[in-house]
Amino acid sequence: MNILERFESVAQSYVRTAPVVFDKALGAELFDENGNRYIDFHAAGGSLSYGHNNPAVRDGLVKYLNDGRIIQTCDRTSSAKRRFVEQFVQKILQPRNFDYKMLFTDPASGTAAEVALRLARRHKNRTNIVAFTNSSHGMTEGSLAVTGKPPTRSETARRGNTAFMPFCGYFGESMDTIGYFRRYLEDSASGLDLPAAAIVETVQVHGGVHVASDKWLQALEQLSREFGFLLIVDETMTSGGRLGPYFSFERAGIHPDMVLVSNAIAGGLPMSMLLLRPELDQWRPGEQAGGFQGDSLAFVAATELLAECCPPSWQFTLSSEILADRLLGLVARFPQRRVRARGCGMLWGLELGRPGSASVVSAWAMEQGVIVEPARTRDDVLLLLPPLTIEEAILVEGLDRLDRVLATFLSHG
């Protein structure tokens, strides 16, 4: 680690909170340079939802490279891109009757968010955007403007003409936050300019794992249609089957105007895609271009993953039930502590009740061979994002290890 500690920027925080040099990986298991084994409940921030070195992805990439195929085309077309588009349309869009165009942006979720916001403002000829409390949409300048946590937002981002409304359950279960939003829209003197769009996560992952109800999402879509603003759903952390359906918004039966898809789509390779309604697909020549929109390796990996984007229902259901039961059981064992478990599918958070506590627990867990990370907002929620393909025995082993760490913390922390 000495060379990294000396020369790598301190902005790279993970390497300092977990000073381990990893070397090999398979499925839900990581191995460091000394051969020590770790069970991965983080999956590279959800970008490895189908496991490290997924065999289909690995074999597809090796064959593609051995055949001498093209690696990078900038924003030009390649056979790898065409094959992915064909497969995505056939396997994802058409079975759901989704009529979306596909726009590949430079590979960062924040970039896709910026493109969506820019397009919404131009299409509606309005400048205001509505985001939600505890939101997180990326780390680029434009995406930080619609991110709820102040310390990560620069002064420029704060001037991004964004208004924040309360997310589902922000004031507790009894308050109708969509009604709150509606009142602002109805009152011309409220100070809220009619927005071009609202951008929302169905589950606020880095905001502390807050799950929007189906009813709330349906009401938000209805509000957008009634007042004529676009609905942008950020599926960066939730697409690819992590909550069950390929897109998490499918549970609510809504049809967003734009959808941000990133992270898990290409098996850990950088790729970002914006789905948009055809009538929104209006651009000036050369307006949307980038040097890394034609990464053929990412297209190959993404195509291979489409064949298993929905793991066997029994496997997903069993794993998600085990995860939920163990976390809820832990909460029940410590009723005197302010601990809560929230989540669905294979995305859960454990709220530990004290700011800074999640980093402590994640460091202890690393010592016990389990990789978990805190949510960014207040560092009081521990994120659990195991690969969807994790074997039952490994999932249980990892939960046993984590249970011992959490029991120690909750008993004496």
> Using one digit for the tens of pLDDT, what is the confidence trace for 138-176?
888 888 889 887 655 555 555 568 999 999 999 998 899
The confidence score (pLDDT) of residue 313 equals: 64
Query: For residue 150, what is the DSSP state?
Result: G
Structural domains of the chain in order of their starting residue, each with its CATH number: 2-54+311-412 (3.90.1150.10), 61-306 (3.40.640.10)
The confidence score (pLDDT) of residue 264 equals: 87
The confidence score (pLDDT) of residue 130 equals: 97
CA distance 209 to 194: 28
Average pLDDT of the chain, as a whole number: 90
**What average pLDDT does the segment 382-396 reach?**
96
The confidence score (pLDDT) of residue 71 equals: 87
**What average pLDDT does the segment 116-123 reach?**
95
The confidence score (pLDDT) of residue 62 equals: 97
The confidence score (pLDDT) of residue 177 equals: 98
Other C-beta atoms lying within 10 Å of the C-beta of residue 336: 6
For residues 124, 126, 130, 136, the Cα torsion angle rounded to the nearest 10 degrees is 80
**What average pLDDT does the segment 330-345 reach?**
92
CA distance 73 to 212: 39
CA distance 27 to 290: 32
CA angle 47, 49, 55 (to 5 degrees): 105
Q: Which amino acid is at 61?
A: L
Strand partners, 101: 276
Q: Which two tokens stand for residue 341?
A: 């478990």
The alpha carbon of residue 115 and the mean position of all alpha carbons in its chain are separated, in whole angstroms, by 17
Cβ atoms 359, 374 nearer than 8 A:
yes
DSSP string, 365-389: HHHTTEE-EE-TTTS-EEEE---TT
Cβ atoms 265, 300 nearer than 8 A:
no
Q: What is the pLDDT of residues 250-306, one digit of tens each?
A: 999 999 999 999 888 998 899 999 999 999 999 877 677 666 776 899 999 999 999
Residue 134: name the closest of 159, 177, 108, 165 by CA: 165
145: three-class secondary structure by DSSP: coil
**What average pLDDT does the segment 198-212 reach?**
96
The confidence score (pLDDT) of residue 151 equals: 55
**What average pLDDT does the segment 369-389 reach?**
92
The confidence score (pLDDT) of residue 106 equals: 85
Other C-beta atoms lying within 10 Å of the C-beta of residue 366: 18
**What average pLDDT does the segment 344-355 reach?**
94
pTM of the prediction? 0.93
**In whole angstroms, how far apart are CA 289 and each of 73, 293, 400?**
12, 8, 48
Beta pairing, strands 347-351 & 340-344: antiparallel
Beta strands in 148-271, from DSSP E residues, in sequence order: 162-165, 197-200, 203-204, 210-211, 230-234, 258-261
Query: For residue 268, what is the DSSP state?
Result: T
The confidence score (pLDDT) of residue 173 equals: 87
The confidence score (pLDDT) of residue 110 equals: 86
Cβ atoms 260, 201 nearer than 8 A:
no
